[in-house]
């Protein structure tokens, strides 16, 4: 008896889809004890085609520039 699983994908098909559409994982974590920050971790993982990565990087740059412009200047 031969058993077939419907919609089974090979590793090559999965990688092709990931590189075509792209995956972005953006994680931020902070560990504190009694109000004292012990550990902070920030990670950005991008697995994508070059076009997807360039689009993502361009959008992140725009967000960072906008965040810097919104901060009021500190008077001396």
- Consecutive sets of 10 residues in the chain, 76 residues long: mean pLDDT of each? 61 78 78 86 76 80 85 58
Domain boundary assignment for the chain: 9-68
Rounded Cα distance between 18 and 10, Å, is: 13
Q: What is the pLDDT of residue 56?
A: 75
Res 8: pLDDT: 63
Count the Cβ atoms, other than its own, within 10 Å of residue 71. 7
Query: What's the pLDDT score for residue 54?
Result: 80
Contacts of 32 (CB under 8 A, 6+ apart): 38
User: Residue 41: enclosing H or E segment and its boundaries?
Assistant: strand 36-47
């Amino acid at each position: 008896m031969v058993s077939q699983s419907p919609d089974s994908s090979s590793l090559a098909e999965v990688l092709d889809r990931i590189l075509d559409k792209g995956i972005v994982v953006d994680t931020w974590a902070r560990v504190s004890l009694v109000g004292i920050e012990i550990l902070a971790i920030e990670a950005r993982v991008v697995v994508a085609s070059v076009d997807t990565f360039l689009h993502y990087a361009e959008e992140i740059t725009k967000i960072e520039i906008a965040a810097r412009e919104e901060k009021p200047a500190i008077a001396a």
